[in-house]
Copies of this chain bind each other. A is one copy, B any other.
Amino acid sequence: MKVAVKVMPRREVLDTQGRAVGEKLNRAGLTLESCRVGKYIELEIQESERDKALDKAKEMAEYVLYNPLIETFEMEVVEP
């Protein structure tokens, strides 16, 4: 099963990468209100049960994929 983990900077944290991209776009005339840049990690897990796959993905996310101080994460099954 393929599970995706989306890791985004917390609202209250300054997202320097997102700000840089947003400013670049605005200067180029491609106006936008705001921009946030995060990570998208696709995990191919050998597990056919949805709940078990999500549990494993959560364990992986908490182990190494995100930093709880400055980021939050969401998961989604992208391929059964």
A residues in contact (CB < 8 Å) with B: 6-8, 18, 21, 24-25, 28, 30-46, 56, 59-60, 63-65
Complex interface: chain B residues within 8 A of A34 (CB): 43-44
| From B37, B43, B65, contact of A41 by CB (8 A) | B37
Complex interface: chain B residues within 8 A of A28 (CB): 63-64
* Oligomeric state, in copies: 2
Query: A59-B30, A60-B30 are contacts. A40–B42 as well, Cβ < 8 Å?
Result: no
Residue of B with least CB distance to A38: B40
Could you write out 28 A-B pairs with CB less than 8 Å apart? A7-B40, A8-B40, A18-B41, A18-B42, A21-B41, A21-B64, A25-B60, A25-B63, A25-B64, A28-B63, A28-B64, A32-B44, A32-B46, A32-B56, A32-B60, A33-B44, A33-B45, A33-B46, A34-B43, A35-B41, A35-B42, A35-B43, A37-B39, A38-B39, A38-B42, A39-B39, A39-B40, A40-B40
